[in-house]
Chains A and B, each alone.
Chain A
Amino acid sequence: MAEARIGQPATGEVPFRGGGFRPRPVRYVGVTVFVIVLLVLEWGTRAGWISNLTLPRPSDVALTLWRLAETGLLWDHLLPSLGRFAVGSAMGATAGIALGIIIGLFSLARAGLVPVVAAIFPIPKIALLPLFVIWFGIGEGSKYALIALGTFTPTVVATYGAVDNVDRTLIRMGQSFGLSWASIVRKIVLPGALPGILSGLRISLAIAIILLTAAEMIGARYGIGAYVLEAGSLYDLERLFAGVTILSVLGVTVNWILAKIEARVLAWRA
């Protein structure tokens, strides 16, 4: 038996073969990767093996951003964008959560509305922008509407999914103790659905940023989207990338805020 397998000594320590398959946080690696990519780009553009028609120099983009902030133009573009993002996504998310809960609680609403939501969901909302311009005007109205509709559908789907996933034994428990319908909804269904709603919001808000940029590319003088569009049509790569960087930072910030909120309100999760 001992000689049966080649290379395996007859006596010795049992080889370790467990471990792995468990993600763990590794500090500073994310930042390091970022820095290395930027350094390589900087070197490439300076040495000339990346043509300045392909990519701008990272240091030039940083300089452009700095000047934007210095001249105050950054705020002229950023503040309207933040306002549109906040108003549009707040409208869409509020309506989406409300309708999602109604669909989750009432079979009639579910039967009637789920097909409608399913039909709206795959429409690229940007395609509707011209229509919204007619309905809500070229001003802020059409931008709010576009962002709101874009956040609305994924929020509805995530919310009623979250309500469906609330542990039924907890609801039966509530009923068996004679809790009122309103109490069951408020104290059992809503807190139970909260994790699902929050993870749905992450997706909805990322979509909101995409639609914000798209909306600002039509009929806006100020806004990050307008800034990026203008830079693109002039083939001004430094400004294009400065705008894209701002959008990326916006997305990361929104995600970070949501993560903080989750850590606070979902501390009860194991």
Chain B
Amino acid sequence: MELRLDGIRHAYGETDVLDGISLDIPSGRIVCVIGPSGCGKSTLLRLIGGLERPTEGQVIQLGAPPAGSLNPLTYIFQDFALLPWRTVAGNVSLVLEDHPVSRSEREDTIADVLIRTGLIEFRDALPKNLSGGMKQRVAIARALAVRPAVWLMDEPLSALDAQTRELLMDDLVGLWSREPFTAIYVTHNLAEAVRLGHRIVVLSRRPGRIREVIEVRAPLEARKTADPNLEAHQRRLWSLIREEAEAADRELVGG
């Protein structure tokens, strides 16, 4: 299953936040979307997942989602969005309970995704007792449980410290290498973009327009943190985004 964004424009009242966004999301690839703060990256993701309606244009699903996918478009949120009153296993269970899966099947799925994310020994812990990195792993396990066709990742590592971020990037690369998934990965962190993106879409500041699309060819598993190739990409992205970021920084909020 692929996604196609066709001439998307979005406005909140009088303010245009996105304009003329047309983009293809190919199957089995990670598309990173970067841009200065307030350029509508997160809005774009909400439009793609159907949490908001675009003012103009449409998001088109090409082809059927793979059989067995319970929730084709699945989010990973920046603030994890875990229910604090449910345990790790309970949070995964939540997204399965509305689907016609038997109790034992549900238990199997929960155990399977918790093993894949290294959380099985924490299955009865409450979110308040988990570190930020562990919380985001729970959110990843929850997403795995519904077998998404496309992952919609909204700055998934931005609430974490730099070291935890490295660890989780490795986890994500590991998950993708074992079973390539399709993802749209919104971030403002250029290092994450060059590390995880097969394709990097650079947005301008508000109203967000596509400035450039960059392909990063190196295979995900081969990318290392201080790779000169990646650093070249990162410098190029920064030169593209720098002026925009400076201008965005000087804008009045809500003006």
Question: What residue in chain A is nearest B97 (Cβ atoms)?
Answer: A183
Asked whether A169 and B79 contact (CB < 8 A) given A176-B49, A177-B146, the answer is yes
Asked whether A269 and B128 contact (CB < 8 A) given A173-B81, A177-B74, A183-B98, the answer is yes
A176-B51, A177-B95, A179-B94 given; 7 more Cβ-contact pairs under 8 Å: A170-B81, A173-B81, A180-B98, A191-B83, A191-B85, A270-B84, A270-B128
Asked whether A188 and B51 contact (CB < 8 A) given A177-B146, A178-B98, A268-B128, the answer is no
Question: A187 within 8 Å of B by Cβ?
Answer: yes
B interface, CB within 8 angstroms of A? 49, 51, 70-71, 73-75, 77, 79, 81, 83-86, 94-95, 97-98, 126-128, 142, 146
B97 neighbours in A (Cβ, 8 Å): 183, 187
B79 neighbours in A (Cβ, 8 Å): 169
A interface, CB within 8 angstroms of B? 169-170, 172-180, 183, 187-188, 191-192, 267-270
With both chains docked as a complex, state the minimum distance between the C-beta of A179 and any C-beta of chain B, in angstroms.
5
Quick one: which of B77, B85, B95, B126 has the most chain A CB within 10 A?
Answer: B85
With both chains docked as a complex, state the minimum distance between the C-beta of A200 and any C-beta of chain B, in angstroms.
18
With both chains docked as a complex, state the minimum distance between the C-beta of B46 and any C-beta of chain A, in angstroms.
8
18 contacts across the A-B interface (CB closer than 8 A): A170-B83, A172-B51, A173-B75, A173-B77, A175-B51, A176-B51, A177-B94, A177-B95, A178-B70, A178-B71, A178-B98, A179-B95, A180-B98, A183-B97, A192-B85, A268-B84, A268-B128, A269-B128
With both chains docked as a complex, state the minimum distance between the C-beta of A260 and any C-beta of chain B, in angstroms.
18
Tell me what chain B mostly uses at the interface: helix, strand, loop, or mixed.
Answer: loop
Partner of B126, one of A178, A180, A268: A268
Give A172 to B74 CA distance when docked, in angstroms. 12
With both chains docked as a complex, state the minimum distance between the C-beta of A181 and any C-beta of chain B, in angstroms.
11
With both chains docked as a complex, state the minimum distance between the C-beta of A187 and any C-beta of chain B, in angstroms.
6
B85 neighbours in A (Cβ, 8 Å): 191-192, 268
Give A123 to B45 CA distance when docked, in angstroms. 49
Asked whether A188 and B98 contact (CB < 8 A) given A172-B51, A178-B71, A268-B126, the answer is no
Quick one: which of A169, A175, A176 has the most chain B CB within 10 A?
Answer: A176
B142 neighbours in A (Cβ, 8 Å): 177
A267 neighbours in B (Cβ, 8 Å): 126
CB atoms of A179 and B84 under 8 A apart: no
Partner of A169, one of B77, B86, B95, B146: B77
A179 neighbours in B (Cβ, 8 Å): 94-95, 98
CB atoms of B81 and A169 under 8 A apart: yes
